[in-house]
Amino acid sequence: MEIGQLQMTPVKMIGQLVDNKTADIQAADGKSFGEFLVDSLKKTNELQKTADKLDMDLAAGKIDDISQVVVASEKAQIALKLTLSIRNKAVDAYKEIARMQV
């Protein structure tokens, strides 16, 4: 029975792996975190306005199908909860940084 040679490939350094993935993420998106937050706030505001308009139309009798109003209201509520959660996490992170001793 013959034993063949063992084929080994070199291991990459962890820093090289992290740098490559980070570069791919930045290149794929192209937006900063601040721009992402502003866009998300605008979308949340639009969902709130749409839900409010549909609520008013339902109250005025302009809408027969209540499911549209319920779905729009739920979308707006979920978006608002997510926005508040992100805000709370950001405030907690700021407080944690403020407590750090230099």
- Is 41 inside any structural domain? yes
For the cut 90, the answer to whether the pLDDT of residue 31 exceeds it is: no
Which domain, by its residues, includes 63?
31-99
For the cut 60, the answer to whether the pLDDT of residue 26 exceeds it is: no
- Is 8 inside any structural domain? no
Express each pLDDT in 49-83 by its tens digit: 999 999 999 999 999 899 999 999 999 999 999 99
- Is 84 inside any structural domain? yes
For the cut 60, the answer to whether the pLDDT of residue 19 exceeds it is: no
- Is 12 inside any structural domain? no
pTM summary value: 0.65
Number of other CB atoms surrounding residue 51 within 10 Å: 21
- Is 87 inside any structural domain? yes
Task: Compute the distance between CA of residue 73 and CA of residue 65 in angstroms, rounded to an integer.
Answer: 14
- Is 2 inside any structural domain? no
- Is 25 inside any structural domain? no
* Total tally of structural domains belonging to the chain: 1
Amino acid at 56: M
- Is 9 inside any structural domain? no
